[in-house]
């Protein structure tokens, strides 16, 4: 019988997989000290967005053999330490794609049409807001996609097919198939920032992408540009974004992720009318939550000595 630790609740579909093989326990907290204390008898962990698997936490877990990342990003796991300690890390790379794609498009539409702002004003009895605001259409405009992986490509395809948007993208890897099918163009980041009317970010959080969208990048954007971030919060410098939105460097933004999560309720961004925010819920669909929870299958595979389907690091 194995012992499993959940850092946060997961869908029952994943819990059932784990319970068939052992005991499942929910951590009492996600700070480093609490996780360290919780891990002494744990064979496998399922980790969501809150909490970190640091070297100290993993080194203090003598039985730990596998960490299942409920999602894609592994920036809250010290991969070098995990590999050195012989701990397999697995994730769910396909589970979140559609949820994030749809959330990205929803934010593009919401911000463009000023739906959330109009909703707030209508609820406050301000019907005349309809005479003071106007949205704009996505049709025929240029979408700049920073990070042209699985999600970025699907966003580009959806926006091109649905709204006839022109696509430019910035990535280290070319996508000749989508250049052919969508008329997409690979351009340097600077050119994308200068030319795109809509910019959506889909990069992992690594040292090279931390504050990729900083003051310099925001000042390089068009004054009518709309920025959407459904990747990782620290990819965008929030202090610079606040200045960009409040001083008119760019037109608006839609943000699902924050530098600090949970973000404080007095986050200055919340006081602005030209931003729509959601609390890291792009992946919160019934389908995605089930698929992410089923990382439990790979957790069990590793503990049984089988090869995982989605390994992140290489463990002999």
| Active-site amino acid positions | 232, 261, 280
Q: How far is CA 126 from CA 112, 118, 150, 270, in A?
A: 20, 9, 42, 20
62 secondary structure, DSSP code: T
* Token pair belonging to 304: 């049984």
Residue 186 has which token pair? 């690979």
Cα angle 286-298-257, degrees, rounded to a multiple of 5: 45
Give the CA distances from residue 149 to residues 138, 169, 255, in Å, rounded to whole numbers and listed in that order: 22, 10, 19
- Sheet strand arrangement including 88-90: 22-26, 2-6, 44-47, 66-69, 88-90
Burial of 136 (0-12, 13-18, 19+ CB in 10 A): middle
Sheet holding 166-170, edge to edge: 185-186, 166-170, 142-146, 198-201, 226-229, 252-255, 275-277
Task: Using CB atoms within 10 Å of the CB of residue 266, give its burial: 0 to 12 exposed, 13 to 18 middle, 19+ buried.
Answer: exposed
DSSP assigned state of 228: E
Do 3 and 66 meet the contact criterion of CB atoms below 8 Å apart?
A: no
């Amino acid at each position: 019988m194995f012992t499993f630790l959940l850092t946060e609740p997961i869908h029952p579909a994943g819990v059932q997989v784990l319970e068939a093989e052992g005991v499942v326990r929910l951590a009492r907290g996600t700070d480093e000290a609490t996780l360290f204390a919780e891990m002494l008898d744990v064979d496998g962990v399922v980790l969501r967005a809150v909490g970190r698997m640091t070297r100290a936490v993993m080194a203090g877990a003598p039985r730990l053999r596998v960490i299942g990342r409920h999602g894609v990003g592994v920036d809250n796991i010290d991969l070098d330490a995990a590999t050195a300690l012989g701990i397999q890390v697995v994730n769910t790379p396909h589970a979140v794609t559609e949820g994030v794609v749809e959330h990205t498009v929803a934010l593009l539409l919401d911000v463009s049409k000023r739906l959330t702002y109009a909703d707030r004003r209508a609820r406050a009895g301000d019907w005349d807001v309809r005479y003071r605001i106007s949205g704009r259409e996505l049709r025929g405009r240029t979408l700049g996609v920073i990070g042209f992986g699985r999600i970025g490509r699907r966003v580009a395809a959806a926006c091109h097919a649905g709204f006839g948007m022109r696509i430019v993208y910035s990535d280290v890897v070319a996508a000749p198939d989508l250049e052919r099918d969508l008329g997409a163009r690979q351009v340097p980041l600077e050119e994308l920032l200068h030319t795109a009317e809509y910019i959506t970010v889909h990069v992992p959080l690594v040292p090279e992408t931390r504050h990729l969208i900083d003051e310099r990048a925001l000042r390089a954007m068009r004054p009518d540009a709309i920025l959407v971030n459904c990747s990782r919060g620290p990819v965008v410098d929030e202090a610079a974004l606040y200045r960009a939105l409040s001083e008119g460097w760019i037109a608006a933004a839609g943000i699902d992720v924050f530098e600090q999560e949970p973000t404080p309720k007095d986050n200055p961004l919340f006081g602005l009318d030209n931003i729509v925010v959601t609390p890291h819920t792009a992946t919160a669909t019934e389908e995605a939550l089930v698929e992410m929870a089923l990382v439990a299958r790979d957790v069990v595979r590793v503990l049984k000595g089988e090869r995982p389907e989605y390994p992140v690091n290489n463990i002999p």
